[in-house]
A and B are shown apart, each in its own frame.
Chain A
Amino acid sequence: MATQRNFEIKNGLSVAGIERIASNGDITGNHLGTFGGTTVTRAAGTNNTQLASTAYVDVAITNLIDSSPGALNTLNELAAAINDDASFSTTITNSIATKLPLAGGTMSGNLAIGKEDPNITLTDSSTSRTLAMFVDNNNSVVRASGPLLLQVGSQSAITIDASRNITLAGTLASGAITSTGQVQGNSFRTHVGTDAGSQLCLFADASGHCFIAGHTLQFNVGPNNSRTTKFAINASGNSTFSGTVTATGVTVGNSNLGSNSSHFANLTINNNGYIGSANASTALQITTTGNAVFAGDISLAGNISLTGGGTIEAPSSSGSENLLLNAAGGIHLRIDSNGNSGDDQLFKVMKHTSALLFSVQENGYAEVASNLEVGGHLDCSGTAGRMSARVQDMFHIGSEPNGATTTRYGNSSSRTYTDGGSSGYQGYVWANENWFPQCYIPYSPNQVYRLSASIYQLTGSTATSGASSRHYLGVAGYDENFNFLSVDGIGTYQYILASNATVNTGNFLEVDVTLKGWQGSGQANGNKMDQGTVYIRPLWLANYQSAGGTAVLTGFTIMPAGTVADNDSNAGTNY
């Protein structure tokens, strides 16, 4: 048995002078084709440096071709199939990039479907709600399985709900709207030409007020081809009714007819026409001269304004008509404050000759042109009250009627009336108080005035209680503006009737004095007032500095005593 040996060629092999194998072992020269030897067929997939037999190569090629169709089983055919495009991959990639993925994407071109009954359907996979757009026969349809919203931005412009109601968020511009149901909205507008032209607007505001607005409004009745205007409002706001107006009330402006004088012009009654009721058709006649003649009574809840200078008259040929004011709550004749001054704020009672009889100013000043007859008291008990007159006949208090406790003669304290009965005294009881009644007696320096007073000492006489119950009694002088007069700071003759007068309990003090002239202007002896005195005011310091005395002023009289000459013994001297 032959022993297998390794055959080693060193430094190469040359055959017929031609190197066949180099010293490094490489086979050199191009003479493999002529190599007539054979080799084993290696297993498919062998991957080494062994020689491959043709069979091995055929298998390899067959495996490469595999089951490729005959038209694509050569590289040339494959190259032809890809259009001999060496950049086929890039070409394909670029081509695919222009296509919309099934997962969605953004198209840069239009989508057009041209086929019979084309249909696009959008389905919400979570709710199965669908929106389809399709063309079916002659109808182009957008169909939604639920409410359909057309939105601008994120806000709905048109909403169609499941009940097929349509809601518009904006203005509806339309040639015509036809509906068998309701057309609802906050504002509807119709117009001809530009929107700023004549138009009819129906709208409502946020407060729920509804309006019909138009340049002019005409309400027609009748078939469209023969309708007639029954009610019209022109551009000036005047209304015209072609028929009868029947209403439960008529309102003009913001209030009832007549409350705003400017609205009277809107109601015109022609030809001495009447305003009446069902039972009194001639209740009010408006004459062509503007007079209103009422057939019945006039009842007012408001005011009668005479701002136009008119009058309220009760003309009478027989003298039997009266201007009667009757109200359960009392009658008020009020001077309205209108910012004017002077006569505008005077309330006047005048004769038919326009001679003033009686007037009251807004500040409360009242003037009587003639005599003022008072059946009761002329009471000046207010803090600002006073009594004065140009002609003074007599001022007298005392002999008051019996009554209960009262406040009188400007003194703020209440006092008790006491009636001495057979003792003769009666009047109000005063303790240690000052009596300064709001009475101002006109004083002329050329007149002699006789002042008389009487005081009844009720309690606290000098005889029984020492130094108590002193009285000072007289008058104080005032100028023409009712300023208190005090020459050199000394008020004159406050105490001409009584000075330090004391009266025993149960007795009267009766005093009389006369007064004439002004000091410094008359040279006669006697009692005088300060120069400039035009009013005198009674003054009584009752029970001066007394803690317990009470007295009753039973009379106080001031009366003119003629114009005795200054040198007469009775002029300004005490009786």
Chain B
Amino acid sequence: MNISDITFTYTLDKVQKNKSTGMIDEVIFTYSGTAEDQTVSIANNKQWLMASDPASSEFIEIDKVTKENVIAWLDASISEVITFDIEEARVTGIVPWLDENDPKQPSKQDLTNFKHSSRKQQMQENIRLTIEKKLKDKLNVNEKIEHIF
């Protein structure tokens, strides 16, 4: 299953604005993905939104802000690819139970294909794999389900 096979939706659970500036700067949301009658959600995610410049032509007065506006801001915000030096994530020490030249040694790990990701990509990957798991478990005849009297 590809990411493109999944339909993702945002549910705004809570939207907060700054008391002094009046700008929306925090959103608590649920991010859901649906494919092949399976829906997976990650709830209670908090995303902080940047303050806007009131002088900008794209600035929207708070009273005119719609849910679609917030979702668009939210989508843009969680789509930002966050980067850092991936070598900082590498373990440089020698794992004692492996030979020093073992390619499994973390010092020899090939991180050249590592892709810096956005939070959105991370959640989408989680949802994709979980849907795949659910679809696979549907075929499990031994799965236990609650009996309702």
Contact = CB atoms under 8 A, between A and B. Distances in A.
Given A434-B84, A494-B82, A522-B130, A574 B45 contact: yes
Interface in B49-100: 49-51, 77-78, 80, 82, 84-86, 88-96, 98
B82 A541 contact: yes
Nearest to A537: B89
B125 A484 contact: no
A574 B114 contact: no
B130 A528 contact: yes
Contacts of A495: 82, 119, 122
- Chain B interface category by residue count: 35 or more
A365 B95 CA distance: 9
A434 to B, nearest CB: 5
Interface stretch (A91-99, A214-222, A276-284, A465-473): A465-473
B4 interface: no
Interface in A511-531: 511, 519-528, 531
Nearest to B120: A499
B48 A525 contact: no
A482 B88 contact: no
A385 to B, nearest CB: 7
A481 B108 CA distance: 11
Contacts of B22: none
Interface residues of A, number: 56
A478 interface: yes
A531 B129 contact: yes
Nearest to B30: A525
B34 interface: no
Nearest to B77: A500
Contacts of B18: 463
Contacts of B104: 481, 483
Contacts of A463: 18, 20-21, 51
A103 B3 CA distance: 130
Contacts of B80: 500
A467 B80 CA distance: 14
Interface string B102-125: 001110010101110101011001
B126 interface: yes
Contacts of A498: 46, 48
Interface in A72-92: none
Interface string A96-135: 0000000000000000000000000000000000000000
A520 B44 contact: no
Interface in A438-495: 440, 462-463, 466-467, 470, 472, 476, 478, 481-484, 486-495
A385 B94 CA distance: 10
A486 B137 CA distance: 24
Contacts of B126: 492-493, 519, 527-528
A159 interface: no
A386 B132 CA distance: 34
A241 interface: no
B130 A520 contact: yes
A1 interface: no
Q: Name the 5 nearest CB pairs between A and B, nearest first.
A: A384-B93, A574-B44, A520-B129, A519-B129, A489-B115
12 contacts: A386-B91, A434-B85, A463-B51, A482-B95, A484-B91, A487-B125, A494-B82, A495-B119, A500-B47, A500-B49, A519-B129, A541-B82
